Chains A and B, each alone.
Chain A
Amino acid sequence: MQPTPDPAASAVLAVVFLPFVAAAFVPLVYRALGERTAYYAAAVALACFGLVASQYGTHGTVSFPWIPSLGVSVSFYVDGLSLLIGFLASGVGVLILTYSGGYMHGEPGQPKYYAALLAFMGSMLGVAFAADLIALFVFWELTSLSSFILIGHYQRQKSSQYAARKSMLITVSGGLFMLVGFLLLHAVTGEFSIVYMLENPEFVQEQLRAEGLFLPVLGLVGVGAAAKSAQVPLHIWLPNAMEAPTPVSAFLHSATMVKAGVYLLGRFRPVLVSHEWELAFAILGLTTMTVAAILAVGATDIKELLAYSTASHLGLIVAGFGFVSELGGETGAFHIINHATFKAALFLVAGIVAHEAGTRKIDNLGGLKDDLPITAGIAVVASLGMAGVPPFNGFYSKELLFEAAWEAAHAAGGGLAYLYPAVAVFGSVFTFLYSIKFLMLFFGEKPTGLHKVHSPPKAMLAPPLLLGVLAGLVSIGGLLGTFDIHFAPFDDFVTEVWAATVPPGADLHGGFSYYIPDHVTPALAMSAVTIALGAAAYPFYDRLHRGVNAITDVNFLRANWYYDSTVFGVNDFSDTTAATVQNGLLRTYATWAMASVAALALAGYVASGVALPDFSGFAVTIPLALVLGVAIVGAVAVSIAPSHISGVLTLSILGFMVAVFYVLASAPDLALTQLVVETLLLVIFLLVLDKLPAFYGNAGRGKMIRDGVLSAVVGATVFVTVLVSTAATPDAPLADYFRDPALTVDQAGGHNIVNVILVDFRAFDTMGEIAVVAMAALSVLTLVAMRERGETQ
């Protein structure tokens, strides 16, 4: 390929951070502009789009030093794939934000909405351009967070809360799997740089295999991608996410966030592509494509239908990327573009229908073409593209998938591998079915009860129109391609994207071009079979619809059922646990806290295999033994004290003996502290005890035994801890270092080592400690004050 210029550093940086800065200003802007904030946000998106466009045709890395001493830098990578996702995020962003200006009219929480949308767009651009695994992960999780806010936009509704929590749980935990995969990659290659991996794919793969980590990395990154791109069985969050306002559904769930998963696969495809890769992702993708298409037929709500359809098409893209041949990369690259145009348009159409007709139930809609002629036109182009009917855009990318599946089956030597093309056709039949069903909202008879539908405002109509025109242009490009007229910039761009998803040096067959084949190929035959079967089955749509719903009524066949059982099961478990552990009795709290601390500490020692030091005889002077003996007597006396007062008094015997012990061990400072603290404790205890009954009465025998055992265990834990932690005394004790007068007296100006350490050498620690003390006082104050005000529950 010809050399391309380097991307402009400032432009790439601006494109990622501008949306975040703009998001921060939204509350201010909203005060000034009110509902027209939508156009401010759209202008920001347009600026981002311009910046992305200015990088068109460039290729390379942009790095900004961040922490040079650690070799950490913020770096971004520009190539076809990242430009594509960048274009989608910012371009669809412009349309969505404009559309929101009409759709969100009079809705509550608009500043939050626009700020979250802009932040989301920024994170998505960050995902697209990140050239560093850690940066990619951070932006990735940021998309999950901002989409959590957007899906839960109607925050008082239970269903919104459920949907937001579900998508968050699934996508964020998927991201954590991905993070582990990234860390393994780092452990093997020693690099966080994605560019390094893209430049040495074979070397990286060899190293991974040598360490036996290839499959784990493949699986972990795959889980991340599958969670984000709603692959079966993690697809369940996508239909619920339709609780969000429709523009959000169109933006996040057709054009951008769900594309993050396929982007990840495309990005790592050159590095990880292999036999195992094909097995994993072709199967995952085709399964998702089929299952989600079947579920879409079972949908009763137009947005639900589109949601399942999105999952299905993402499956198609994943399957495309899954096939090892170059055709696979081509399928994925091209279908990302097609899907974004027709699906975003359809979501916006669905928004118009829901907004104007007041219902989203498929059964209550029909014959809308008279009232909404332009919308109907958009729907025709977009749904036929979704159905894969020639000459509309989805047809060409589906052809590529069929071709790739056929080739893969061929290359694998037939047999079971012919399931690839067979399943692809089977799934596509359902795709055809639901696409036509959606289209029929606009044709046929108007159901009774559907009043006159008004035309949508211009701000709502323009964006889907533009998307529909784009989808139409891509379709026309294919028609013209048949007559050997090619639109070179578009083809070149897709070639760029394609090139980014294949290992360097792969054969691109002279670049990308698409057209209606002029002779019968296996792929064309498969398309014909799909359409024929679909057309034949359409009259039985209602029966199929009921059949699908009958199947999904069976609990254990639904992925949702597993999700709900797990989440709510865990809820119940934590409810029971909380009631047992925190039952309001101080004694119970103390029991659980101490038992778990002891258990954790002891388990830690066992796990790390620490050895107890050898016993080297008693090295204790007589006075010391005497003091410790009195302390033990005091301890025993505490446990048999007849009242609280005498218990506290005997306890302070123990404390004072420890203070004497410090004096004998030549630590006057500690002794002084111990004495003063002990005195204060005694005083506070007495202050509190004044109000308490003399004794609580007799506890049961079982409780006494339990408490006795517990205290023995805690004592043993402390004993072991002291033994273990003092065993590792270094040869030259730390004290020798600080005892050096050259250090303490001359540098710090103090003779008291303890104080010098506290206020000079470790002053930062002390600073933290006094902050904690202050915080504790504040908490006590707040707790008591709040209780008096009756704010607690």
Chain B
Amino acid sequence: MSTVIARTVTRTVVPIILVTAVALLLQGHNLPGGGFIGGVLTVTAFALIYIIYGLDYLEEELLHQNRETIIESLQHGIVENYQIAFGVGLAVAAVSGLVPLLFGGNFLLQDHWYTPALPVYGELHVASALAFDLGVYFVVVGSLLTILAVVGSE
């Protein structure tokens, strides 16, 4: 499937997809988007690379790591990073739920703040739910990529 056209398009499109995904994640609280959609979109970018350049490209060409067998790559290679991603995601979500307990709130109680008049940016609106959303994002990215890589390598 890797024609020159496909490769070129992928090169151009993947960064755009990633930026869009992050944008979706950050704006999710006020506009369509959120951790789940952002996560799935990120995975799409990776999937595109996998299809156009092959499964090993990420690891061998970009990260310069060589694995002998499938098992080894499942245990140590990039898949391990994916696993760390969803582990971290779960932890972030859980911790973001626990923090309110320190301030006497319920588990997963959320809050939000306006920061008026930042230089250049202007008003900034931060919701604590963003931390939880970030957790969701990482879990989705990590899990789907794990599945993708494992199933793809079959």
- To the question of whether A and B form a pair in one complex, the answer is yes
Residues in B neighbouring A788, C-beta threshold 8 A: 70-71, 74
Question: For the complex, is B148 an interface residue (Cβ under 8 Å from A)?
Answer: yes
Residues in A neighbouring B108, C-beta threshold 8 A: 760, 763-764, 767
Partner of B143, one of A686, A748, A774: A774
With a 10 A CB-CB cut-off, give which of B75, B79, B97, B143 has the most chain A CB atoms.
B143
Are A777's CB and B90's CB within 8 A? no
Question: For the complex, is B154 an interface residue (Cβ under 8 Å from A)?
Answer: yes
Partner of B43, one of A668, A680, A767: A680
Residues in A neighbouring B82, C-beta threshold 8 A: 777
Interface of B is mostly: helix
Are B40's CB and A683's CB within 8 A? no
Partner of B37, one of A673, A686, A764, A789: A673
Partner of A780, one of B37, B110, B150: B150
In the complex, identify which listed stretch (A216-224, A304-312, A694-702, A751-759) lies at the interface while the others stay far away.
A751-759
Are B32's CB and A668's CB within 8 A? yes
Question: For the complex, is B152 an interface residue (Cβ under 8 Å from A)?
Answer: yes
Partner of A770, one of B30, B37, B89: B89
Residues in A neighbouring B31, C-beta threshold 8 A: 751-752
Residues in A neighbouring B30, C-beta threshold 8 A: 750-752
- Give residues 549-574 of A contacting B (CB, 8 Å): none
- Give residues 773-787 of A contacting B (CB, 8 Å): 773-774, 776-778, 780-781, 784-785
- Give residues 713-768 of A contacting B (CB, 8 Å): 748-752, 754-756, 758-760, 763-764, 766-767
Bound Cα distance from A314 to B129, whole angstroms: 64
Number of A interface residues, CB 8 Å?
43
Bound Cα distance from A755 to B32, whole angstroms: 8
Bound Cα distance from A683 to B148, whole angstroms: 10
Residues in A neighbouring B97, C-beta threshold 8 A: 763, 767
Residues in B neighbouring A766, C-beta threshold 8 A: 93, 132, 136
Question: For the complex, is B144 an interface residue (Cβ under 8 Å from A)?
Answer: yes
Are A683's CB and B47's CB within 8 A? yes
Are A785's CB and B83's CB within 8 A? no
Number of B interface residues, CB 8 Å?
58
- Give residues 29-56 of B contacting A (CB, 8 Å): 29-37, 40-41, 43-44, 47-48, 50-51
Partner of A781, one of B90, B132, B144, B150: B150
Are A749's CB and B110's CB within 8 A? yes
Are B110's CB and A759's CB within 8 A? yes
Considering only CB atoms, which chain A residue lies closest to B154 in the complex?
A: A784
Are A777's CB and B129's CB within 8 A? no
Residues in A neighbouring B35, C-beta threshold 8 A: 759
- Using A683-B48, A749-B129, A780-B150 as known contacts, say yes or no to A770 and B75 having CB atoms under 8 A apart: no
Are A684's CB and B151's CB within 8 A? yes
Residues in B neighbouring A780, C-beta threshold 8 A: 146-147, 150-151
Bound Cα distance from A764 to B108, whole angstroms: 7
Considering only CB atoms, which chain B residue lies closest to A746 in the complex?
A: B112
- Using A677-B40, A763-B108, A766-B136 as known contacts, say yes or no to A781 and B146 having CB atoms under 8 A apart: yes
Are B93's CB and A686's CB within 8 A? no
- Using A750-B29, A751-B31, A755-B29 as known contacts, say yes or no to A687 and B148 having CB atoms under 8 A apart: yes
Are B90's CB and A771's CB within 8 A? yes
A-B contact count (CB 8 A): 158
Question: For the complex, is B94 an interface residue (Cβ under 8 Å from A)?
Answer: yes
Residues in A neighbouring B90, C-beta threshold 8 A: 770-771, 774
Report A688 CB to chain B, min CB distance, Å: 7
Bound Cα distance from A680 to B72, whole angstroms: 26
Residues in B neighbouring A767, C-beta threshold 8 A: 93-94, 97, 108
Question: For the complex, is B111 an interface residue (Cβ under 8 Å from A)?
Answer: yes
Partner of B110, one of A673, A763, A776: A763
Report B81 CB to chain A, min CB distance, Å: 13
Considering only CB atoms, which chain A residue lies closest to B125 in the complex?
A: A749
Bound Cα distance from A549 to B29, whole angstroms: 80
Partner of B140, one of A683, A771, A773, A789: A773
Bound Cα distance from A758 to B140, whole angstroms: 14
Residues in B neighbouring A760, C-beta threshold 8 A: 108, 110, 129
Report B103 CB to chain A, min CB distance, Å: 16
Are A687's CB and B47's CB within 8 A? yes
- Using A669-B34, A748-B127 as known contacts, say yes or no to A777 and B29 having CB atoms under 8 A apart: no
Residues in A neighbouring B28, C-beta threshold 8 A: 752, 755
Bound Cα distance from A691 to B150, whole angstroms: 14
Residues in A neighbouring B34, C-beta threshold 8 A: 669, 752, 754-755, 758-759
Bound Cα distance from A784 to B86, whole angstroms: 18
- Using A749-B112, A773-B139 as known contacts, say yes or no to A680 and B93 having CB atoms under 8 A apart: no
Question: For the complex, is A643 an interface residue (Cβ under 8 Å from B)?
Answer: no
Residues in A neighbouring B107, C-beta threshold 8 A: 764
Report A707 CB to chain B, min CB distance, Å: 25
Bound Cα distance from A128 to B96, whole angstroms: 46
Question: For the complex, is A679 an interface residue (Cβ under 8 Å from B)?
Answer: yes
Residues in B neighbouring A771, C-beta threshold 8 A: 90
- Give residues 49-65 of B contacting A (CB, 8 Å): 50-51
Question: For the complex, is A672 an interface residue (Cβ under 8 Å from B)?
Answer: yes
Are B139's CB and A680's CB within 8 A? no
Are B33's CB and A752's CB within 8 A? yes
Question: For the complex, is A676 an interface residue (Cβ under 8 Å from B)?
Answer: yes
Bound Cα distance from A751 to B93, whole angstroms: 21
Bound Cα distance from A758 to B89, whole angstroms: 16
Considering only CB atoms, which chain A residue lies closest to B28 in the complex?
A: A755
Residues in A neighbouring B125, C-beta threshold 8 A: 749
Bound Cα distance from A160 to B87, whole angstroms: 43
Are B40's CB and A686's CB within 8 A? no
Bound Cα distance from A759 to B37, whole angstroms: 13
Per-residue CB contact flags for chain B residues 118-134 toward chain A (1 = under 8 Å, else 0) read: 00000001010100110
Considering only CB atoms, which chain A residue lies closest to B152 in the complex?
A: A687
Are B51's CB and A686's CB within 8 A? yes
Are A759's CB and B29's CB within 8 A? yes
Report A661 CB to chain B, min CB distance, Å: 16
Residues in A neighbouring B147, C-beta threshold 8 A: 776-777, 780
Are B127's CB and A785's CB within 8 A? no
Residues in A neighbouring B154, C-beta threshold 8 A: 691, 784
Residues in B neighbouring A671, C-beta threshold 8 A: 32
Are A756's CB and B151's CB within 8 A? no
Considering only CB atoms, which chain A residue lies closest to B94 in the complex?
A: A767
Residues in A neighbouring B113, C-beta threshold 8 A: 749
Bound Cα distance from A129 to B58, whole angstroms: 66
Report A299 CB to chain B, min CB distance, Å: 57
- Using A673-B37, A750-B127, A764-B107 as known contacts, say yes or no to A755 and B70 having CB atoms under 8 A apart: no
Partner of A672, one of B37, B50, B142: B37
Bound Cα distance from A777 to B142, whole angstroms: 8
Are A748's CB and B142's CB within 8 A? no
Report A648 CB to chain B, min CB distance, Å: 14
Bound Cα distance from A684 to B51, whole angstroms: 9
Besides the known contacts A755-B28, A781-B79, 11 further A-B residue pairs in the complex with CB atoms under 8 A apart? A669-B32, A669-B33, A684-B47, A684-B151, A749-B127, A750-B129, A755-B33, A759-B132, A777-B144, A784-B150, A788-B74
15 of the cross-chain contacts (CB-CB < 8 Å) are A676-B44, A680-B44, A684-B47, A749-B125, A752-B34, A754-B32, A754-B34, A759-B34, A767-B93, A770-B89, A770-B139, A770-B140, A771-B90, A781-B79, A784-B150
